[in-house]
Structure 1
């Protein structure tokens, strides 16, 4: 690519390192409320582990490559740096149970945008990657002003020896001001994320479950040397055309029994996405 990134050697593909497929399908395991969140009702962490493994197996047994484990029911989300020890501990233990089933292709995302907590959980669990929604720059979101986590997360990853954990970073972040005011171009945001040492870039819609446009995927792909995957809005109707333009997708709502992120993964809906993707 042109610009300052041209002086850096191309990274080995994190997709190739983590997954056996060229076009990867990753299912989202949205955990029940964890210890410390307002809606937690005291379930033993072992029970949460069983839930996560059941969800993960539903995805992988029906054509997906792996999963990402997310604390999506810990509403309202905390800002980075506010998460307690109990969050990292629970996420690490639960993710380790999933890794024991699927191996290191599993990802972790601690919401909202908690890069360091995600890396700690992933490294303890043996997971291979984390998703960080706002890796560079800053934006206004539901949680308030959210700043990019690249500087603190890369230093923390190095400090604990977690260098093998890859960072999948969103570009043109959903639920944030950049998606509304367009104060920086898509090309600029793409190059910023690569310059700040992300390993994979994620194209996403404006909100959870909203479809990502082909134009946005191509716009990111054409301004990076990194793999690009889709992080929102995949369904059986659009998965084929979108996968032709990128390296994979994270799927949630379309694979759930109720078509919403808060439902359970449904085998028939997971299979429908996988079949439409050519699995």
Structure 2
């Protein structure tokens, strides 16, 4: 009997090479300060919010990073996807478009928490090449509560926008959460679920922002998925080369900020030293 091939989705292929023109990519995270509508927003001039995001993106890219991912990380505590207001998409679309137009490099979007549909809307409006979705398949318990996979809704929404070129970067066993609800299934099987639901790349993380995952764990995720794989937390100058020996990219922020603290500005000198260290 002839084996029937799995249907091929519109975003197939090597997402890293397609987006960045190289097989290994370093992506800096632009942690936007609190946006209007978020609890920590105190009425700051929105132009100042935009400028800080642009300045951080410029520091990453002029320092040698291959692209950036833009997050509403200042909007703590994060809302569940259906509770995120349209103002978040509006403000993130403007700053993301400004960053892309001014700096001319690949950008991605992550709307916290797990808001795949707003992320796709922003990416489509701003010309972003990818979105990050922390829970693409299955479910887990996050700081925000019970979070379900967004793949079915998001893929239909992407098709509705005719935005199939926007790649999906999906987390495996994402940080800041408890995965007991799916603990009867090995992590390898959960990674395969991301592939089955047409993710374009897989992201491995540690337990929290800035926490490094074990190299053996990273290798297991890479081998289980067979897709381009990135590490999305805990990447430092000390471990970056070892990590990139295994995976296809890193998403890095905390170690490139002043004093190594995620909410500080990006330190361009740290970025340059980080990139130079990868060349040694």
TM-score (norm 1): 0.94
Q: Which residue of 1 aligns with 2:277?
A: 276
Task: Tell whether the 8 Å contact from 1:204 to 1:211 is kept in structure 2 after alignment.
Answer: yes
Query: Does 2:149 align with 1:160?
Result: no
Task: Give the superposition deviation at 1:101.
Answer: 2.5
Query: Does 2:70 align with 1:63?
Result: no
Q: Which moved more, 1:182-191 or 1:197-206?
A: 182-191
Give structure 1 regions of 4+ aligned residues with deviation exceeding 6 angstroms: none
Task: Tell whether the 8 Å contact from 1:79 to 1:114 is kept in structure 2 after alignment.
Answer: yes
**1:51-88 superposed Cα distances (whole Å, 9 cap, x missing partner):** 11110110111111111000001011000111111011
Q: Which moved more, 1:205-214 or 1:265-274?
A: 265-274
Instruction: Name structure 1 gaps, 5 residues minimum.
Output: none
Q: Distance in 1 between matches of 2:201 and 2:4?
A: 15
Q: What do you get for the CA RMSD once the two structures are aligned?
A: 2.0
Task: Give the superposition deviation at 1:9.
Answer: 5.4
Q: Distance in 2 between matches of 1:57 and 1:64?
A: 10
Task: Tell whether the 8 Å contact from 2:140 to 2:182 is kept in structure 1 after alignment.
Answer: no
What does 1:126-275 correspond to in 2, within 5 Å? 126-178=127-179, 182-275=183-276
How many residue pairs align between the two structures?
Answer: 276
Task: Tell whether the 8 Å contact from 2:140 to 2:181 is kept in structure 1 after alignment.
Answer: no
1:16 aligned counterpart, secondary structure: helix
Q: Which residue of 2 aligns with 1:21?
A: 22
1:277 aligned counterpart, secondary structure: helix
Q: Distance in 1 between matches of 2:35 and 2:138?
A: 29
Task: Give the superposition deviation at 1:186.
Answer: 1.8
Task: Give the superposition deviation at 1:181.
Answer: 8.2
Does the C-alpha gap of structure 1 residues 30 and 249 become closer, same or farther in structure 2, counting only changes over 3 Å?
Answer: same
Q: Distance in 2 between matches of 1:182 and 1:259?
A: 33
Does the C-alpha gap of structure 1 residues 179 and 53 become closer, same or farther in structure 2, counting only changes over 3 Å?
Answer: farther
1:222 aligned counterpart, secondary structure: helix
Does the C-alpha gap of structure 1 residues 141 and 110 become closer, same or farther in structure 2, counting only changes over 3 Å?
Answer: same
Task: Give the superposition deviation at 1:41.
Answer: 2.0
Instruction: Name structure 2 gaps, 5 residues minimum.
Output: none
